[in-house]
């Protein structure tokens, strides 16, 4: 018997980094997915199409399995196979998607009647090992799907969209380490606590307003907020010249707004644009050597099933 789960990737539209310190962030699940297959094994193992079993996610994946095994009193001797369509280190939630899919597949394998909040909680065991101090916004988007407003300690708020929306995502080609970027922002907070506190409050307000604009289809206004958010993230040191140039390129090609998404220091940008220009913007980014795609949202969250 095999249990299978698939979880979407994600993009943070506004509020990354500040969400770690208590601000609201707005995130959307993306159609690129991670698939996890679980079968019984003589001992715990992890294999992946993107990493060796000793790779950066191997130990955290086993941590998720072990935490669930301990709580529900079953053997952790499972083989976990990861098939990912999400590039690692790109700011698109590859680790969160993997941890969410792992928790969901293990729950399905052992016939555990777990709800999305439970899957989220177990996925965070692995996320904490990967990132040190994650906010949970990535795992929330990958678990619940759709578009969510997330704040640590609060119930995620689902944002209802009337009709489909589209995001443009482009990978800079430079991987980054989220844990390092989180530490860098924490140093800014320690050095300039009052200034950082004011920025955190402002970032939270921007996320709430951005959710309203996205829900209402006011994409031009949303784009302006995103570009402003990028400038703030650059101010606290998590952007860099390649990301700034990629944002500028997206804007020059006709996007309403663009910003880094995720930890920064590399990774990807996310942009919104007029529907008539989306195809040409993606083509323009691709022609210049960037991996770019249009992502239609909303996208459903994690799902799992048995293959007998």
The pLDDT tens digits for 85-126 are 998 888 899 999 999 999 999 999 999 999 999 999 999 999
User: pLDDT band at 133, cuts 50/70/90?
Assistant: confident
Q: Which residues contact 33 (CB under 8 A, 6 or more apart)?
A: 6, 7, 8, 9, 85, 86, 97
- Give the Å distances, CA to CA, from 98 to 48, 51, 190, 235, 293: 10, 12, 32, 31, 21
pLDDT over 90 (residue 267): no
- Please enumerate in sequence order all residues whose Cβ is within 8 A of that of 8, keeping only pairs 6 or more positions apart, or say none: 29, 30, 31, 32, 33, 97, 141, 142, 145, 299, 300, 301, 302
CATH domain 2-160 topology:
Ribosomal Protein S5; domain 2 (3.30.230)
pLDDT greater than 90 at residue 183: no
Instruction: Tell me which residue has tokens 């993009």.
Output: 11
> Of all residues in the chain, what percent carry a pLDDT higher than 90?
79
Query: Is the pLDDT confidence value at 52 over 60?
Result: no
Residue-wise pLDDT for 204-226, tens only, equals 999 999 999 999 999 999 999 99
147-150 vs 78-84, strand pairing mode: unpaired
Distance between CA 66 and CA 44 in Å, rounded?
A: 9
Q: Which of 85, 113, 118, 138 is catalytic?
A: 138
What b/e readout covers 229-238, taking b as 16+ CB neighbours within 10 angstroms?
bbebbbebeb
Average pLDDT over residues 250-270: 91
Q: Which residue has the higher pLDDT, 174 or 205?
A: 205
Confidence band, pLDDT 50/70/90 cuts, at residue 56: low
Bridge-based pairing state of the strands 2-14 and 25-40: antiparallel
Query: Over 90: is that where the pLDDT of 182 sits?
Result: no
**138 an active-site residue?**
yes
Whether pLDDT at 181 is above 80:
no
Predicted confidence at residue 227, as pLDDT, reads 97
Residue 279 CB neighbours (<10 A): 12
Cα 249 to chain centroid, rounded:
23
**Residues contacting 83, CB < 8 A, separation 6+:** 34, 35, 36, 37, 48, 49
Mean pLDDT of 121-136: 92
- The answer to whether residues 97 and 10 touch, using CB atoms and an 8 Å cutoff, is yes
Domain boundaries, the chain: 2-160, 165-297
> What does the mean pLDDT of the chain come to?
92
> Any idea which fold 165-297 has?
Alpha-Beta Plaits (3.30.70)
């Amino acid at each position: 018997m095999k249990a299978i789960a698939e979880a979407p990737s994600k993009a943070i539209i506004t509020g990354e980094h500040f969400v770690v310190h208590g601000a609201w962030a707005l995130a959307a699940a993306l159609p690129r997915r991670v698939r996890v297959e679980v079968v019984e094994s003589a001992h715990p193992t992890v294999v992946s199409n993107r990493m060796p079993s000793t790779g950066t996610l191997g130990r955290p994946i086993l941590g998720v399995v072990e935490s669930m095994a301990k709580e529900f009193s079953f053997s952790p001797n499972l083989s976990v196979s990861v098939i990912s369509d999400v590039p690692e280190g790109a700011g698109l939630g590859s680790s969160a998607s993997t941890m969410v899919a792992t928790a969901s597949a293990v729950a399905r394998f052992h016939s555990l009647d777990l709800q999305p909040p439970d899957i989220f909680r177990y996925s965070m065991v692995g996320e904490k090992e990967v990132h040190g101090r994650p906010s949970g916004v990535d795992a929330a988007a990958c678990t619940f799907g759709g578009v969510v407003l997330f704040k640590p300690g609060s119930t995620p708020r689902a944002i209802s969209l009337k009709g489909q929306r589209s995001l443009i995502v482009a990978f800079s080609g430079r991987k980054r380490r989220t844990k390092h970027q989180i530490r860098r922002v924490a140093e800014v907070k320690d050095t300039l606590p009052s200034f950082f506190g004011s920025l955190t409050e402002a970032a939270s307000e921007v996320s709430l307003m951005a959710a309203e604009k996205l829900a209402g289809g006011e994409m031009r206004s949303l784009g302006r907020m995103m570009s402003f958010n990028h400038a703030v993230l650059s101010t606290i040191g998590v952007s860099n010249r390649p990301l700034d140039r990629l944002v500028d390129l997206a804007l020059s090609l006709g996007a309403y707004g663009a910003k880094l998404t995720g930890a920064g220091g590399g990774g990807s940008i996310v942009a919104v644009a007029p529907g008539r220009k989306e195809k040409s913007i993606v083509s323009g980014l691709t022609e210049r050597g960037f991996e770019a795609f249009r992502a239609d949202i909303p996208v459903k969250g994690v799902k799992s099933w048995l293959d007998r």
